[in-house]
Structure 1
Amino acid sequence: MIEFVVIRHGQSLADIEGRHEGRADFPLTDLGREQAEKLAKWLKQRYNFDTIISSPLKRARETAEIIGSKMNKSVIFNEDLMEWNNGVLAGLLREDANRDYPEPEGGRKYFQAVQNGESMIDLRSRAEHFLADLIHSTKDSKDNIRICIVSHGGLITMLYRSFLNMPIDTNVWLSSGDTGVHLWQINNDKKIVMFTNIQEHLRCDV
């Protein structure tokens, strides 16, 4: 059995400033680091990880390193886990982005990239590549494997769509709050979603 514990990073500076994040590389806030500490303690009580893989962007990197420190595991960084490349929107206040780069009437199509960025098809392709490579590299193992993945809300949605073989034009989105945890399994070729967006650790003391 392969088990994926998929985690969104904690609160970042862009979250509280009302900015488009994407590839803008904002760090965690003090609250975000506290959320990650609570998560790491919660995870240590429940899981052992064979591998921790993270986006290299600061908000995910910090979250993953806090988990890794608690679990005494090093973190592997993979650029395929980076958030959607939102091009010219990265780092802009939302009101400025809406003024300077308004969406086309009816919204941006799935195949249309934001200026200097990615389309949703591009993002899905990255998620597909990451997940397919990870599954292929572990499928012949005789042991149960548990992998921790730390990433971003948009990319996690695309991993979810890829995991469940959803159509490329699906409009299904997966909610991921600050340090929200998802648990997915592949067991005898069955793909199982055990739970999504668990945040009970945020009610615990550090």
Structure 2
Amino acid sequence: MTAKTRSALVLTLAIAASGLGCGRLGADAANPAPVGIGWKTHEAATASAQTLASAAAGARKSRLKPGLWRVEGVQFDTLSERGKVYLCIDAASAALIDPPPPPAGQARCSVEDGTPKPDLYLGTTQCRYPDRTVTSRVRIDSNNLYFRDVVVQRGTAAVESNDKSSHFAEWVGRCRPEQAPGKVYTQAYGQDEMHAAELPAALISAASGS
């Protein structure tokens, strides 16, 4: 084989190799990494974002741990005539004790959380309605004691009336096997047996945010 022939052959092989390389790059661009690999990466990122979103939503929904809470407040006045009043709650029914702000269409609300401290939560929610302003101050100690003071201001600066109410709840343990979340129970003083009762209408309104 002559030198000229060898040079032509080398040139031909180089051109072919270059063409194959371009074709491979084009194929890679048109067909990226196998679907499984790319999808798993996307799926992991999506799952992580969803987990964070769910955790944040859960924190907004409930500040109280599930279980049986002994409760006091004006809405329980009738039931308290029978003795102690308890609410069995889970994350979905915690609003029966710790109601969230009403929907934006009903009032303009602002929420101010206090400086985070170990085993202590302090927060203030103020909602402005066309005819009144409602200010709620919440304190939760060691996730076992819940206090909420509510002040309702009506009228103008010249003629104003205030209504104040206090709410208290104390975690006493897990709900009993026969008790269901979202239900209220009464217990006569000096007795261990609890009896199911009707949920007060005012409590249902508070839980729905109305």
* Length-normalised TM-score, structure 1: 0.26
Larger RCO, structures 1/2 (Cα 8 Å, 6+ apart)? 1
Is the strand fraction higher in 1 or 2? 2
* Length-normalised TM-score, structure 2: 0.26
Is the helix fraction higher in 1 or 2? 1
Structure showing greater Rg: 2
